Structure 1
Amino acid sequence: MKVEALLFGGVALFFAGSAALYGAWSGEPAGTAVLIIAFGMAGLVAFFCLIQYRRRGSRPQDRTDAEVVDAAGSLEFFPPHSAWPVITALGFAVAALGVIYGLWLFLMGVGVLARGVLGMAFQYVNRPD
């Protein structure tokens, strides 16, 4: 993940520089805000990749002398049946409708969305390895 962290770090630096130059020269706040958000998203992905690299070390894909058999085996645990993605999608849809129809609906959607995301994140927290 080191290569991915460097790649997204470079993208984040590009968006940071673009936001600074665009904000200084144009004075237009909407485009500057979009570039700052793009910087934040790329920086978040770079940070995640860097943390994963430090936790797990290099992967077989990162080594030039690796064989195909080095990457064999189970990669991660993927849940076969879960209702949480549907609840998360429903919460997002209700929150999006709340942007149109009113704050009360938006807040209900954010509540359902938060419960769905937390359910997905913690549904197998006590699963034995």
Structure 2
Amino acid sequence: MKVQGKMFIWLAVFVLVMAIVYGVWSKEPAGTTALFLAFGLCIMVGYYLAFTARRVDVGAQDDKEADVADDAGEVGFFSPHSWQPLSLAIGGAFLFLSVAIGWWLAYFAAPLLLIGLWGWVFEYYRGENRTQ
């Protein structure tokens, strides 16, 4: 994680320099603001990765002598199947579409979004997947 943290910190420095150069050269506020916001995002991610790297063990990506196989193993838990992202995607699409078509469509999008969000959060707390 140290490598990724350093990469984002260096990326933040580059984006900051580019934001300053772009702002002085173009005098265009929207692009300059976007670059400064990108700088802020890079700093946040870089700080998080650097802060987390101090609390976890050294990974294979931090060892210059490591092989690809040294980083093999379990990555994490991923849900094997879920219909909730489909409901969230349809509800989100309808909600964004309501800006163009009419706000009345948001009344149909909101229940889809809420059902999808509720189902996704509590997916493993009901039925056969419920913890005892």
TM-score normalised by structure 1 residue count: 0.67
Pairing of 1:93-104 with structure 2 (within 5 A): 93-103=93-103
Query: Can you list the C-alpha shifts for 1:71-111, whole angstroms capped at 9, x where unaligned?
Result: 34322111101223223322331233133224554687578
Say if 1:5 and 1:50, in contact at 8 Å, map to a contact too. yes
Count of aligned pairs between the two proteins = 127
- Alignment RMSD (CA, Å): 3.5
Letter in 2 for 1:59: G
Say if 1:12 and 1:43, in contact at 8 Å, map to a contact too. yes
Query: Can you list the C-alpha shifts for 1:27-61, whole angstroms capped at 9, x where unaligned?
Result: 21221122123223333432443344234232122
> Mind listing any 5+ residue stretches in structure 2 that lack a counterpart?
none
| Whole-angstrom CA distance in 2 between matches of 1:107 and 1:98 | 9
Say if 1:98 and 1:107, in contact at 8 Å, map to a contact too. no
CA displacement at 1:4 relative to structure 2:
0.8
Identity %: 39
> Mind listing any 5+ residue stretches in structure 1 that lack a counterpart?
none
* Bigger CA radius of gyration: 2
Say if 1:9 and 1:42, in contact at 8 Å, map to a contact too. yes
